[in-house]
């Protein structure tokens, strides 16, 4: 009988490059930047890494396919390197591979690194991508903002929400993330904005305006994981261990069948339920200290807080406007600025979220530091509301 991975794997070290428009850097430079920080933190030598997982989503854009770019760039000593891609949940997928490798006992120390170099397209927003021969023939002409914007239409219809109230709550989410990002030296966007800025910004995909959309960034993040015993043996004292890693992937029910109404993420609800169970958490609103969720768009964050069971269904607007998720609120969300302001280099994002949880749990979050966090939860989503990959990680103090 499977027992899950709670407290079986500890984080030995983490690193994260500065995110942003890194015009002067190749993807390889960003990988090295994250890896160097991570290795210093872990305090090991390169040859101690026994396996690696490499996350990059739009690899045609920068480093190319396979595990080779990681091994070449970091000069890894002929170890197994697996390249993973799972839409925007790629970073968490890389982390999951490394965590499972250690938990299985196959290796002692494993590396997960994600990278994306998005700013080599010549235009704003995510790159245009093929979707597969047949999909190209029938999928609607969707962009990321256009697919997520539909959450708002469906949410309004379902909960009979005044469009202005929803837009105001979405604006609060973005203002909050800019406030948080302004305190993060590695964040892509560090400017503060006002709700009026958000409300009056140019429309990207109705009702998402420019400030409802996250940054499109270059960046890399990485983690080295091992067993708690080995971590202690290497001199680590305050261990951060993995409580849960869960993934739920759409199978067509939302887009083709069933009761899904377009206003929430069916996958996130399933993955969150499994993650709480794996981590032994009965009342997440009381136990989780902080969140980094996949705020690719303001409305995504809003409905996700309901899908994670923190806000009641239809009530997230109230929680958001009450400041429940602000840095000074009961459970801060996106304390590092989130995708919105830290940025969203796709392959790196899931690992970047865990990086912030790790910094907070080890008391190294600088100006953003929260008092005494115990459990941090990340939610990393890829795809579209109607068909997606929802990846959830809970990390926390070892034994908590």
Partner 1 sequence: MANDFGILSYGAYLPRRRLQRKSIAAANSWFAPGLRGLAKGERAMANWDEDAVTMAVEAARDCVSGMPPAGLEQLILASTTHPFDDRQNAAIVANALHLGSALRVLDVTGSQRAGTSALISALAGGGKSLVAAAEHRLAKAASPQEMHYGDGAAALLVGSGKPIARLIGSHSETVDFVHQFRSSERAHDYAWEERWIRDEGYLKIVPAALAALFKATGIAPAKVTHFCLPCTLPRVVPGVAKRAGIAEVAVRDNLAAVCGDTGAAHALVMLAHALAQAKPGDLIAVAAFGQGCDALLFEVTDAVATLPPRVGVDGALARRKEETNYLRFLAFNDHIALERGMRAEADKGTPLTTLYRNRDMVTGLVGGRCRNCGTLQFPRGRYCVNPECNALDSQDDQPFSEASAKVMSYTADALTYSADPPAYYGMVEFDAGGRMMADFTDVDEGKVEVGMPMRMMFRIKEHDTARGFVRYFWKAAPSV
Query: Of 153 and 230, which has the nearer Cβ to partner 1?
Result: 153
Contact 354, 361 (CB under 8 A): no
Nearer to partner 1, 264 or 324 (CB): 264
Q: Quick check: is 88 catalytic?
A: yes
Least gap, CB of 260 to partner 1 (angstroms): 9
Strand 387-397 with 375-384, pairing: antiparallel
Residue 130 near partner 1 by CB under 8 A = yes
Structure tokens given for 248:
């739920």
134 near partner 1 (CB under 8 A): yes
Query: CB of 270: closest distance to partner 1 in angstroms?
Result: 12
Q: Report the distance separating Cα 254 and Cα 261, nearest Å.
A: 8
CA–CA gap between residue 253 and residue 277 (Å, rounded): 24
Q: Please select the residue that binds partner 1; options are 149, 302, 316, 377, rule is CB under 8 A.
A: 149
- The answer to whether the beta carbons of residues 142 and 384 sit under 8 Å apart is yes
Q: Tell me the per-residue interface mask from 364 to 393 with partner 1, x by CB under 8 A, - otherwise.
A: --------------------xxx-------
Q: How distant, in Å, are the alpha carbons of 150, 262, 265, 318, 342 from that of 157?
A: 11, 10, 16, 17, 32
Q: Applying CB under 8 A, does 185 fall inside the site for partner 1?
A: no
Rounded to 5°, angle at Cα 197 from 289 and 210? 80
Residue 277 CB coordination number (10 Å): 14
> What's the min distance (Å) between Cβ of 150 and partner 1?
4
Q: What is the nearest approach in angstroms of partner 1 to the Cβ of residue 222?
A: 31
Q: Decide: is 252 part of the binding site for partner 1 (CB under 8 A).
A: yes
Instruction: Verify whether residue 379 is a known catalytic residue.
Output: no
For residue 310, say if its preceding peptide bond is cis, omega within 30 degrees of 0.
no
User: Out of 62, 294, 344, 379, which one is annotated catalytic?
Assistant: 344
Q: Which residues bind partner 1 (CB under 8 A)?
A: 121-123, 125, 128-130, 133-134, 136-143, 145-147, 149-151, 153-154, 156-157, 202-206, 208, 251-253, 255-258, 261-263, 384-386
């Amino acid at each position: 009988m499977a027992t899950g991975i709670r407290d079986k794997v500890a984080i030995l070290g983490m690193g994260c490059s500065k995110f942003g428009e890194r015009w002067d850097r190749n993807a390889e430079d960003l990988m090295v930047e994250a890896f160097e920080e991570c290795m210093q933190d872990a305090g090991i030598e390169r040859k101690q890494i026994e396996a690696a997982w490499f996350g990059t989503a739009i690899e045609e854009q920068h480093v190319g396919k396979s595990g080779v770019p990681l091994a070449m760039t970091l000069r890894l000593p002929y170890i197994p390197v697996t390249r993973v891609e799972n839409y925007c949940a790629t970073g968490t997928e890389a982390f999951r591979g490394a965590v499972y490798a250690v938990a299985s006992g196959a290796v002692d120390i494993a590396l997960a690194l994600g990278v994306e170099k998005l700013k080599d397209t010549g235009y704003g927003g995510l790159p245009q991508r093929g979707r597969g021969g047949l999909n190209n023939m029938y999928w609607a002409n969707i962009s990321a903002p256009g697919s997520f914007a539909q959450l708002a239409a469906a949410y309004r219809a379902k909960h009979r929400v005044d469009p202005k109230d929803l837009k105001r709550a979405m604006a609060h989410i973005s203002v909050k993330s800019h406030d948080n990002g302004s305190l993060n030296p590695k964040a892509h966007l560090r400017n503060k904005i006002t709700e009026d800025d958000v409300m009056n910004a140019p429309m990207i995909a109705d009702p998402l305006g420019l400030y409802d959309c996250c940054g499109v960034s270059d960046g890399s993040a990485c983690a080295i994981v091992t067993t708690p015993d080995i971590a202690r043996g290497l001199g680590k004292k305050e261990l951060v261990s993995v409580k849960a890693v869960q993934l739920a992937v759409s199978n067509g029910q939302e887009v083709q069948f069933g009761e899904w109404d377009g206003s929430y993420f069916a996958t996130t609800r399933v993955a969150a339920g499994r993650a709480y169970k794996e981590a032994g958490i009965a009342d997440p609103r009381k136990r989780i200290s902080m969140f980094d969720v996949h705020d690719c768009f303001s409305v995504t964050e809003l409905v996700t807080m309901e899908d994670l069971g923190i806000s009641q269904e239809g009530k997230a607007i109230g929680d958001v406007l009450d400041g429940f998720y602000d840095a000074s609120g009961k459970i801060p969300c996106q304390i590092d600025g989130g995708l919105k302001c830290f940025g969203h280099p796709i392959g790196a994002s899931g690992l970047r979220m865990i990086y912030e949880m790790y910094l907070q749990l080890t008391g190294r979050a600088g100006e953003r530091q929260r008092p005494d966090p115990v459990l941090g939860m990340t939610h990393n989503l890829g795809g579209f509301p109607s068909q997606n990959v929802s990846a959830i990680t809970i990390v926390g103090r070892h034994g908590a």
